[in-house]
Amino acid sequence: MAPPAAAAAYRIPTVPPALIDDDLNEILARDIPWETYVTARLISERDAQLLRRYDKRPEELQSSLLDEAGPALAEACVSVLRNVTKEETAQYLLALLVQMLAVNPGRAKLFHQDPGANAADPYSVFLRLLQRPDWFTQDKASRILAQVLAARPDRGDGPSSSASDAAASDPADAAIAAFVEWLCNQLRRPTNPTKSVPCAVAALATLLREKRARTLFTRGGGVQLLSPLLRSCNSPANSQLLYEICLCLWQLSYYRPAVEAMAGSGVVKGLVDVVKVAQKEKVVRVGLLALRNLLDDEQLGLAADMVEAGLPKVVVQRGLQTWGDEDIPPVLESVGDALKRGVTTMSSFDKYKKEVMSGMLDWTPMHTSELFWRQNIDRFEEKDFQVLRVLLKLLEASREVRTLAVACNDLGRFIETHPHGRYVVSDLRGKELVMRLMSHPDAEVQKRALLCVQKIMLPKDKLDFLAAASG
């Protein structure tokens, strides 16, 4: 799949800069004794001078200084964060940087321009701050680090091989690996009950633009961590968080292993539910973009999952609305067309396999069609008779009478049609499983089990008559 940058047919969603909240304003009101730190030789006179020129100045003067000496000021902030351990000062510098990036996110590039010979590595400084005990420091360091990593000039898809993961020589690669691990841990075991998840998701929405981050996040089980959030956060009160979750999944939908993880983790139904009920247009748009990408992978057959989740009806209903976002109508049309293609191109055996894997069988035409069994009998051998083994597991474990009756029918059809069907079924203990069902309390299950046992016991030349009887 192409990276998200190639998806320019529609406007690429972006995460808005961090808002200046009340906590930030309270911390920015502090007075920091820069001279004391100079006297203690914790910061240089040059750094203190730059910070004094910027600190508590009108926005116009701050902007002018950033234009004049932005890289030096960024370096000064990082130097203070590296050398001064006092919590109040670290919080103040982080608040100052969050405010600076909120006004202009492009200023994250300042951390990569003309660093001095003794400049601190910003990645290691912010990563170390993630280990501080106070949540304000963790939260702001996370948001800044994500923006600084995303702004580096040599950013690309990056390495993703196991060798480079084991020993990343590039400081940015090592930082991404450590940062992704920290973010996954915040999603898995939040250190703050209300803020860990929004903080981690916001950082990931920025970080997952890179292939390396997508690779590491997927390997770390990140997709499975996002899936339940689609359900728990699907409400108007969580619109921004829900948008960022969908944005993460959209970016992950360009990475095949992540798509495979989504296929079995409830992401499809979660995205359909989001598109169905979301009130914010940006949430609907990015949810649709993620679903459209998932539809592009025809091998996984996710169109059927989307149909089952009610997406065709959602597309029709949403298509009747008037949208201020001009991207949404063409994406709705694109998803609708892809749904139709996906369902049409699914082979009958793919549909059959999907039904068997669901654990619930019904009397759809495939189960009684001789043509289906003749055309697809060889496919039952795939992956060491995987579908047949699941069918036998249903006979052993299912309590649903229709599923049991259909499974007995299908086992008999396999024995009739496959040249070695009787022996394959016997080797897999199918005979014992079916014989138990001959005494099942349901009459239809009894009948289908009896016919199946006869097909196992009788020679092939006598099965034509029984095949007609079972139809």
CATH of the domain at 59: 1.25.10.10
Q: Are residues 201 and 54 in the same domain?
A: yes
Q: Are residues 239 and 367 in the same domain?
A: no
Nearest CA to 253 out of 301, 202, 220, 218 is that of: 218
Least confident interval from 267-271, 297-301, 380-384:
297-301
Least confident interval from 5-14, 110-119, 271-280, 416-425:
5-14
Q: Report the CATH number that the domain containing residue 360 is assigned in CATH.
A: 1.25.40.150
With respect to residue 155, please indicate whether it lies within any of the assigned structural domains. Answer: yes
With respect to residue 377, please indicate whether it lies within any of the assigned structural domains. Answer: yes
Residue at which a domain ends, from 200, 219, 254: 254
With cut-offs at 50, 70 and 90, classify the pLDDT of residue 7: very low
With cut-offs at 50, 70 and 90, classify the pLDDT of residue 463: low
Domain count of the fold of the chain: 2
Q: Are residues 10 and 159 in the same domain?
A: yes
- What is the per-residue pLDDT for 116? 60
Whole-number mean pLDDT of the chain?
Answer: 88
With respect to residue 225, please indicate whether it lies within any of the assigned structural domains. Answer: yes
Q: Are residues 31 and 171 in the same domain?
A: yes
With respect to residue 268, please indicate whether it lies within any of the assigned structural domains. Answer: no
- What is the per-residue pLDDT for 19? 42
Q: How far is CA 272 from CA 234, 240, 283, 292, 308, in A?
A: 11, 18, 12, 11, 10
Q: Are residues 242 and 384 in the same domain?
A: no
With respect to residue 295, please indicate whether it lies within any of the assigned structural domains. Answer: no
Q: Is the pTM of this model over 0.95?
A: no
With respect to residue 280, please indicate whether it lies within any of the assigned structural domains. Answer: no
Q: Give the span between the Cα atoms of 6 and 12, in whole angstroms.
A: 10
- What is the per-residue pLDDT for 5? 46
Q: Are residues 211 and 98 in the same domain?
A: yes
What spatial distance separates the first Cα and last Cα of the chain, rounded to whole Å? 45
Structure tokens at 319: 């298509």
Q: Which residue has the higher pLDDT, 412 or 265?
A: 412
Q: Are residues 241 and 374 in the same domain?
A: no
What is the tens place of the pLDDT at every residue in 101-136? Answer: 999 999 999 999 866 656 678 999 999 999 999 999
Nearest CA to 210 out of 162, 168, 252, 244 is that of: 252
Q: Are residues 240 and 353 in the same domain?
A: no
With cut-offs at 50, 70 and 90, classify the pLDDT of residue 355: confident
Q: Are residues 239 and 386 in the same domain?
A: no
With respect to residue 284, please indicate whether it lies within any of the assigned structural domains. Answer: no
Q: Are residues 110 and 238 in the same domain?
A: yes
What is the tens place of the pLDDT at every residue in 149-184? Answer: 999 987 764 434 343 443 445 889 999 999 999 999
State the residue for tokens 């890289």. Answer: 71
Q: Are residues 99 and 225 in the same domain?
A: yes
With respect to residue 292, please indicate whether it lies within any of the assigned structural domains. Answer: no
Contact 294, 259 (CB under 8 A): yes
- What is the per-residue pLDDT for 167? 40
Helix 267-277 × helix 239-252 angle, to 10°: 140
Q: Which residue range is the domain that position 466 belongs to? A: 349-470
Q: Are residues 356 and 246 in the same domain?
A: no
What is the tens place of the pLDDT at every residue in 62-103? Answer: 999 999 999 999 999 999 999 999 999 999 999 999 999 999
Residue at which a domain ends, from 230, 254, 278: 254
Q: Which residues contact 100 (CB under 8 A, 6 or more apart)?
A: 62, 66, 107
Residue at which a domain ends, from 225, 254, 283: 254
